[in-house]
Structure formats: structure tokens, C-alpha cells
Amino acid sequence: MATAAAHETARSQPSGAPESADDSTAEFQRAFDAAVAADERIEPRDWMPDGYRATLIRQIAQHAHSEIIGMQPEANWITRAPSLRRKAILMAKVQDEAGHGLYLYSAAETLGTSRDELLDKLHSGRQKYSSIFNYPTLTWADVGAIGWLVDGAAITNQVPLCRCSYGPYARAMVRICKEESFHQRQGYELLLALSKGTPEQHEMAQDAVNRWWWPSLMMFGPPDDESQHSAQSMAWKIKRHSNDELRQRFVDICVPQAESLGLTLPDPDLKWNEERGHYDFGPIDWSEFWEVLKGNGPCNEQRLSRRRRAHEEGAWVREAAAAYAAKHTTGGPGRQSDVDGTTGAHHAANANGENVNGETGAKRA
């Protein structure tokens, strides 16, 4: 196992590394492989292959971005929530998402990047966020469908990440998964209230599930045979299960839940397969997935421009905070540049930031 990982890693090492470093690099590599094989955690000060670092930065950043962009479709309903209790729940959820974004940017920063740099990549489209947030929330029931299906898919994806080989990411996921499970139950409960409510409310719930089901299945990323980074991520124990395995697990969980909700799932091919011990389900429209990922989904433009606008309109506030800090800290000026994002040391992560694969659609909390 260690040999395979070493082999994979050797290929992703940047060319042009000084020859003299070869021996010590090989030794570090052996120690790293042994740690991964023994299920030990890799920590920020440990040596790690460049490819491992770059993959983690990309994945954690995209995960963080998904939390931030993911606030929008739900925040869309905060001012229209139909009861004060639901409004409080929704506000708390959106607040949690901002908090998750903060944990995740911190985890990414342990790998030698900065939040400003990552946000800059999000705003310029060089890093992605989960494709699911490019779908609109058209009715109140969508808030429930997002909780039940989108957060449900996220949890299925993320629970294994609690055992991810990179310590800071794994620990962030433990905290995030607890809160996500809570959100998912609230989403389910919201849909249940609608499903058992008036005929109009029931119809609203069914319509939302019809619209969110397939996009939720796409959150697990492309099929295994089209997922280029999967094998490497699994060898590094960043990922623990394949996209298709997780997708199947999610379908198996959702079918009985849909039944107890009194709602149907919009798939005529969905049926129990006794032989496999799993539910069979119909084909996913991957052309839609790739279109959304390319930026052509219903809300891509809207989500990104709103995020950019919030950032740009907030610039004067961040500048004020930096100027105040410079005036009132004895350390003197010099830390200001962190705030306006002009520092941006564009090192190794830059090239990797553009290397977006299908899994971008998969990570979300």
C-alpha cells in the first residue's frame, strides 16, 4: 500500500526539485506513507507530499466556499419564514454555516494558504463550490428539502471525512457533522409538517423534493470511472469511500425516509433489489451536472455576483478595521495588507487551484 502511494505521489512531485534533496525527501516520503498506512493523523508541521497538500487545499477550500455560497439559497427565505419558530431555526442554521466556513478556512490555512487568497479564488472563479447551490429556492418547502436531502447527502459524504488522514480537517468535520445532523433532522421535520398539513402544503413539499432529488444525488460527484482524483485521494486516506458507494448509501437511507414523510421520489426506476441488498435507481443526467459545474446552472451567475458584491461593498469596513487596528496596536502598521487581500503570495496552491475535478460538486456541509 505504501509503495503504491509513494508511486502515485512521486508522479505529482513538482519537477525541478534540487537533486541533493532526493535522499531526505525519500525518507520523509517513507515516514509519511507509514503514518498514513498506520491510520495516524498528518498534522500541519509534518512533512507531506506537495500533491497531498494541494489536493487538501483544493478540497477544504471548496468545502468552505460551499458553506459560504450555501448560505444564499436559504437566506433567501429568512425574511419570509412562515412562523417565528421556523425563522429562528433558519437563522441559526445560516449562522452555523458561516461558522463552518470559518472552521474550514482555518483548517485550510494550516496548509499554508490564507482565507483572503482562497476568497479571491472563489470570487474570480478559480475555485469552485458545490454545484447544488446553483439551484434556486422557489418555495418555503425548498428550505426543508435542502435540510433533508442536501444536508443528508453532505453528511453521508462528510462522516467518513471525520477519519480523514489530515488532522485539522478531520477535527473540523467532527464539529461540523454534529451540527449538520441537527440541521438535517430539522429539514426532515419541516417537510413532515408540510406533508401532513393542508393539500397545498403537501403539494409544496412534493414539488420541492421532485426538484432537489436528482441534484442531491449529483452531490456525490461523477461516477467512479469518471472521477480522476478518487483513487489518489483514497490512497492518501483523504477519501474513504468512492462516489458511487456513498451515493448508493444515501439512496438506501432516503427511500424509507421518503415513505415515512408520505412523499415520493421522482424516479420510476427506483426499486429494492433483493440480490444486491440495495435500491436500484435510474440514470443520472450527467450532462446537467457538467453544465452546472461549468457555470451554466440556474443560479451560478447570481450566487457568485452576490458574493462578490458583499465582499466589494464590505471593503471599506475591512479597511476601517485594519486602519483602527494599526492605530491602536503597539506593534505598528504592517498587518494591514492581510485584510484587503493584497498580500496573496501566489505559491504552489495557485496552479492547483485551477485543477478542478468532478468532486467539486460533492463537498458541502
Partner 1 sequence: MVLSHRLGEWAGNAPVLEEEVALANIALDLLGQARMLLSMVGDEDELAFLREERAFRNLQLVEQPNGDFAHTIARQLYFSVYQHLLHTQLADGDGPFAALAAKAVKETAYHRDHAEQWTLRLGDGTEVSHDRMQQAANALWRYTGEMFQPVEGLDIDWTALQTAWLEQIEDVLRRATLSVPEGPRTGAWSAGAGRQGLHTEPFGRMLAEMQHLHRSHPGASW
- For partner 1, give the closer residue by CB, 255 or 322: 322
> In this structure, what C-alpha cell is assigned to residue 253?
437511507
CA angle 206, 222, 359 (to 5 degrees): 100
Q: What are phi and psi of 271, to 5 degrees?
A: -155, 155
Minimum CB separation of residue 137 from partner 1 in Å reads 12
Nearer to partner 1, 193 or 284 (CB): 193
Which of 2, 6, 81, 253 is close enough to bind partner 1 by CB under 8 A?
81
**Binding test (CB under 8 A) with partner 1, winner from 53, 58, 86, 183:** 86
Choice between 6 and 81, CB closer to partner 1: 81
Closer residue to partner 1, CB minimum distance, 3 or 79: 79
Rounded Cα–Cα distance for residues 284 and 133 (Å): 18
Residues 267-286 close enough to bind partner 1 by CB under 8 A: none
> Is 321 one of the binding residues for partner 1 (CB under 8 A)?
yes
Nearby residues of 252 by Cβ (< 8 Å), 6 or more positions away: 278, 279
Stretch of residues binding partner 1 (CB under 8 A), selected from 1-9, 94-102, 147-155, 178-186: 94-102
Question: Residue from 6, 193, 253, 348 that binds partner 1 (CB under 8 A)?
Answer: 193
d(CA 106, CA 115): 8
- CB of residue 127 to partner 1, shortest distance in Å: 16
List Cβ neighbours of 37 (8 Å cut-off, separation of 6 or more). 1, 2, 5
Q: Which residues ranging from 96 to 125 are in contact with partner 1 (CB under 8 A)?
A: 98-99, 101-102, 105, 115
Minimum distance of partner 1 from residue 317's CB (angstroms): 4
| CA 14 – CA 50 distance, rounded (Å) | 8
| CB of 52 or CB of 140, closer to partner 1 | 140
Q: Are 243 and 223 in contact (CB under 8 A)?
A: yes
Within positions 296 to 315, which residues make up the interface with partner 1, using CB under 8 A? 306, 309-311, 313-315
Distance in angstroms (rounded) separating the CA atoms of residues 75 and 80 = 10
Q: Give the whole-angstrom CA distance, residue 91 versus residue 36.
A: 40
Residue (51 or 70) nearer to partner 1, CB: 70
Q: Where does residue 167 rank: exposed (0-12), middle (13-18), buried (19+ CB within 10 A)?
A: middle
Shortest distance (Å) from residue 143 CB to partner 1? 11
Instruction: Pull the grid cell for residue 229.
Output: 482524483
Contacts 24+ apart (CB under 8 A), 254-262: 254/149, 254/152, 255/279, 257/148, 257/188, 258/209, 261/148, 261/188, 261/191, 261/192, 261/195, 261/205, 262/195, 262/196, 262/202
**Interface with partner 1 includes 88 (CB under 8 A)?**
yes
- Residue from 20, 198, 287, 330 in contact with partner 1 (CB under 8 A): 198
Q: Which stretch binds partner 1 (CB under 8 A): 120-128, 229-237, 244-252, 316-324?
A: 316-324
Binding stretches for partner 1 (CB under 8 A) = 68, 71-72, 75, 78-88, 91-92, 94-95, 98-99, 101-102, 105, 115, 140, 190, 193-194, 197-198, 200-201, 306, 309-311, 313-324, 327-328
